Structure 1
């Protein structure tokens, strides 16, 4: 099922590129999925990682995800998917609220996704400087608020033994990027 999800996402994101680079977009979902697989998480969660941006950024709907990958994968993807008809602030506020109250698997996916995005941003800032912010819907202060708010809410409801090490990596990265 994981290979099927990777292939589906690769086809869905064909031709798309990452912000600030010429990298194929699919490199991001692959890295997120590989991180979750390395942590030993469920096949459903790894599949959701491959597919996490498909509904937001391609022609496919959540019903397509459910049809091909089942209800559990579709639920995880749906919990992570932003409503692009809303403003940037509304979407990010919703994600902050979601991260606070979501099931563990949704939290694991959101933080793995945010970590990978922020690692890319840190690299882009090193190479291209602050002009990279021009490619975002919100500037550095709004991005700082968003990422710090994610950090403040991501541990809510988790037992210490449930917290994967990359949560701390994300916190440290937020401090580095937005110091």
Structure 2
């Protein structure tokens, strides 16, 4: 099923590029899925890692994911899909609320995605400087607000044994990119 999800994502994202580089977009979902797999998570969660941006950023809909894979994969993807008809602030607040109250698998997916995005931003900042923030729908201050609240809420409801190591990596990346406070 993982190879089918990877192939589906590659097809869905064909021709798309990452925000601040010429890298093919598919490199991002592959890294997210790889991180989930490295942490020993379920096949369904790894598949959701490959597919997490398909509904949000392509012509495919959640019903396509459900038809091709299964209900749990589709549920994971749906929980992480933003409603692009809403404002940036509304979309990000929804994600913050989701990360706070969601099942742990949804938290794992969201943080794996946000960590990969933030690591990419960190590289771009080193190469391009603060001009990077101009390519976002919201600049430095709003990105800081968003990422700090993801970090603050990702542990809610998790036992210490349920926290993957990359949650700490995300906290460290937030600190490096945005500073404290």
With the length of structure 1 as denominator, give the TM-score of the two structures: 1.00
Give the CA RMSD over aligned residues: 0.3
For structure 2, the residue ranges without an aligned partner over 5 or more in a row are none
1:94 corresponds to which residue?
94
1:107 Cα deviation after fit: 0.2
Shift of 1:16: 0.1
Map 1:52-67 to 2 at 5 A: 52-67=52-67
Shift of 1:176: 0.5
Matched residue, 1:170: 170
Superposed CA offset, 1:40-82 (max 9, x none): 0000000000000000000000000000001000000000000
**What is the alpha-carbon distance in structure 2 between the residues aligned to residue 166 and residue 39 of structure 1?**
9
Mapped partners of 1:132, 1:169: distance in 2: 22
TM-score (norm. length: structure 2): 0.99
Aligned to 2:4: 4
Aligned-partner Cα distance in 2 for 1:83–1:97: 14
Provide structure 1 residue ranges, at least 5 long, that are not aligned to the other structure.
Answer: none
**Which secondary structure state, in structure 2, belongs to the residue aligned with residue 83 of structure 1?**
coil
Q: Cα deviations across residues 8-30 of structure 1 (Å, max 9, x unaligned)? A: 00000000000110000000000
Q: Which residue of 2 aligns with 1:161?
A: 161
Cα distance in 1 for partners of 2:150, 2:36 equals 18
The separation in 2 between residues aligned to 1:122 and 1:25, in whole angstroms, is 17
Provide the rounded CA distance (Å) in 2 between the counterparts of 1:5 and 1:136.
Answer: 28
Matched, 1:113 2:113: yes
Q: Partners in 1 of 2:39 and 2:139 — Cα distance?
A: 32
Partner of 1:22: 22
Q: Distance in 1 between matches of 2:28 and 2:65?
A: 18
How far did 1:122 drift?
0.1
Say which SS state the counterpart of residue 68 (structure 2) adopts. Answer: helix
Number of residue pairs matched? Answer: 179
Q: Residue 129 in 1 paired to residue 129 in 2?
A: yes
CA distance in 2, matches of 1:89, 1:72: 28
Q: Secondary structure at the match of 2:17?
A: coil
Partner residue in 2 for 1:145: 145
